[in-house]
Structure 1
Amino acid sequence: MAAAFDNSHPPQRQAGLMGANMVVPLHAVIEKEIGGVDRDLVFHASGITDLPGEAEFVPEGKVAHLHQLVWEKWPEQAPRMMDMAGRVAAEVFVAHYIPPKARLMLQNMPWSISAWLVGKSARHNAWTFAGSGMFAIQSTSRLALFHNPLALNINADGPCCQYYAAMFEHMFQRLSHRDFTCKEVCCSATGSDHCAFDISL
């Protein structure tokens, strides 16, 4: 997938914060797939010089810059690395924001009900992964991100939010039904006014 990176930084919505789970999983995955030296160079270039703790938050501009640099430096490996890191991020989200009793309850509900509740929980905590972007549940099978900070400065010929797609997919698999899949069907990086993700069995 070809992607061009716009370094002009056009005016954006007021900057927000994102959770460490948008950064820390990439740190581990890049070390495994590429190596620690190159990983550290990219992290420093993004402005993230110290790895945040699990409960800490990172300015979304730095998170977005990190994700863009990963796509720019390793275009062939980026989809796989983003997918891997997104699944780890889902595990972190579940561990931090879904109490054990709630997880057990969700896993034993009819999937149609638990899926709705998982989406509702994601919306309630969306600022941790969407920053200043707006997360919406458009229907029982579609999630959307408007003003997605991770896609605003990217021009691509196809959807490139593998991190989010993997995170949503794994979250629904863990809490609702193991056969759920998530596919990004439109992306701000391709000119759409939002990023949309279809959730299906």
Structure 2
Amino acid sequence: MPTSDRGVASLFERAGESDAAEAEGAALARIGPNAVIQTGQALASRYGSGVTRLIYEAAGLARYLGNPPHAMIDEREPKALFTALRQALPAQEADHVLTDAGLRTANYIVENRIPPRARKLLPKLPPALASRLLVSAIARHAWTFAGSGHFEGRVRGWREPVVILSIKANPLATPGCPWHGAVFQGLFATLTATHVAVVHPRCQARGDDCCEWTIKAATGPQPQV
């Protein structure tokens, strides 16, 4: 059972992605393309292609319709898309779309970016250990969803673990950060085999100094992310 830093790195090793390429992506303030791709899919499923096109055009991203990005993108692009989305739709509807997009992103990461042996092993481990391994893996690749922001993650406790994640200078912050919250909900619920509750006590878009999420096992109806 890998618990050392080397073991964690080995567990989540992804073929074809070098540390140099990752460092370059971070230095250029780039972010993973799924913030754009999955938001488009969530929009299309809820409102159809016409509304999706209008919002992408407003964000200056119409070129991605029918030709989605396959590599890291400028973090300003999903930021523009999230802004255009919130300007075009009522706040609650925009949050529904961003939540759906976040869950789709989490599903994509699990299916395509988490090695099969890690997908099989993590849900079988005690939640406290699985959470620590997952936080370590997320921290190593945090720029894929945090861009130029500064990510920190830690886990408190063993019997009832509490995960605390934060992003300072979060480039994709929106009120309540439904996209990020849904990404974290999907990842931890799937890979720790635990029904989780995600709470967002601090939000940069609401005037706090950073965005922070608390994730723990849910004991009742799960609050919206």
TM-score normalised by the chain length of structure 2: 0.76
Query: Counterparts of 1:55 and 1:114 in 2: how far apart (Å)?
Result: 29
Where do 4+ consecutive residues of structure 1 move more than 4 Å? none
Summarize the alignment of residues 111-126 of structure 1 with structure 2, pairs less than 5 Å apart: 111-126=127-142
Unaligned runs of 5+ in 2: 1-26, 157-162, 218-225
Q: Which has the higher contact order (CA 8 A, sep 6+)?
A: 1
Q: What SS does the aligned partner of 1:145 have? A: strand
Is the contact made by 1:68 and 1:150 (CA closer than 8 Å) also made in structure 2?
no
The answer for the alignment partner of 2:114 in structure 1 is 98
User: 1:50, CA displacement in angstroms?
Assistant: 2.8
Size of the alignment, in residue pairs? 182
Is the contact made by 2:29 and 2:148 (CA closer than 8 Å) also made in structure 1?
yes
Q: 1:67 aligns with which of 73, 82, 93?
A: 82
Is the contact made by 2:135 and 2:154 (CA closer than 8 Å) also made in structure 1?
no
Query: Counterparts of 1:96 and 1:190 in 2: how far apart (Å)?
Result: 33
Is the contact made by 1:83 and 1:163 (CA closer than 8 Å) also made in structure 2?
yes
The answer for the alignment partner of 1:176 in structure 2 is 192
Q: What SS does the aligned partner of 2:62 have? A: coil
Is the contact made by 2:132 and 2:154 (CA closer than 8 Å) also made in structure 1?
no
The answer for the alignment partner of 1:136 in structure 2 is 152
Query: Counterparts of 1:15 and 1:184 in 2: how far apart (Å)?
Result: 28
Q: 1:49 aligns with which of 62, 87, 98?
A: 62
The yes-or-no answer on 1:145 pairing with 2:167 is yes
Q: Which digits, 9 at most, give the CA deviation of each residue in 1:77-128, with x for residues without a partner? A: 1111111110010011222321001111111111110011111111111111
Percent of matched pairs sharing the same residue: 26
Q: Is the alpha carbon distance of 1:128 and 1:97 closer, same or farther for their aligned partners in structure 2, counting shifts above 3 Å?
A: same
Q: 1:58 aligns with which of 73, 77, 84?
A: 73
The answer for the alignment partner of 2:31 in structure 1 is 18
TM-score normalised by the chain length of structure 1: 0.84
Unaligned runs of 5+ in 1: 1-13
Q: What SS does the aligned partner of 2:170 have? A: coil
Summarize the alignment of residues 69-88 of structure 1 with structure 2, pairs less than 5 Å apart: 69-74=84-89, 75-88=91-104
The answer for the alignment partner of 2:105 in structure 1 is 89
Q: What SS does the aligned partner of 2:92 have? A: coil
Is the contact made by 2:38 and 2:102 (CA closer than 8 Å) also made in structure 1?
yes
The yes-or-no answer on 1:185 pairing with 2:201 is yes
RMSD, matched Cα:
1.7
Query: Counterparts of 2:69 and 2:85 in 1: how far apart (Å)?
Result: 21
